[in-house]
Amino acid sequence: MSNMSSKLISLSESVALSKVAEGNELIYTQLVEKYWQKVLQHALSYVKSYPIAEELTQDVFIQIWDKREKLFDVNSFDNYLFIVSRNLIISHIRKKLVETDSLKGEKLQELFFNPDDQYEFKELVEIINEGAALLQEPRRSVFLLSRMEGRDTDYISKELGIATRTVRWHLLQSLNFLRNHLHKQYNVDVLLCILYSLLFF
């Protein structure tokens, strides 16, 4: 890992971003590790909840990886990261305000367990599990421990015997895979929205 770190340090920012834009996962992993706490603290200052802030941080880095070709035109990664983070945080806050008003205080989870919606919820869980079964280890275990059991990064790191940065990368990649899998296999936008609610909020 030290060789990877020194390699990143020796690269200029523009070269590092170009390599990520071309799909270099190793360099991107190092960028995630370098900026993770900064994004997390930024999110935490707004949402005041560590689990939600951590999930927003994951979403930031997933979005940057999904749209990595944009990094070719980025002059300052710091500024780009701030913009992406700010936009996602604002979207989250707006969504919560709308949700609170429209649901009149009901929790989203409670809607899924209403009698009329139990079938849809069960079907959604089955679809998520179907996608998770396609993940390779240890990515599958990371996803299940994080999203199905609610375990934090430190717990997963100790449980699986892998570094926290590796846990974060596997989680980012598993969520990205599931998004693409659901869109490709089912092409149902509503289902994706529900999945986002379950996984990210």
pLDDT digits (tens, 9 = 90+) for 51-70: 888 888 988 999 999 899 99
Q: What angle do CA 174, 22, 11 make, to 5 degrees?
A: 105
Say whether both 111 and 90 belong to one domain: no
Say whether both 71 and 141 belong to one domain: no
Most confident among 34-38, 122-126, 129-133 (mean pLDDT): 34-38
pLDDT tens-digit readout, 5-27: 444 444 688 888 999 999 998 89
Residues 5 and 8: their CA atoms lie apart, in Å, by 5
Say whether both 86 and 110 belong to one domain: no
pTM, whole model, 2 decimals?
A: 0.52
pLDDT reading at 169 higher than 80? yes
Other CB atoms within a 10 A radius of the CB of residue 56 amount to 24
**What is the average per-residue pLDDT within 78-104?**
73
What are 191's two structure tokens?
């289902």
CATH of residue 95: 1.10.1740.10
Say whether both 158 and 118 belong to one domain: yes
Domains of the chain: total: 2
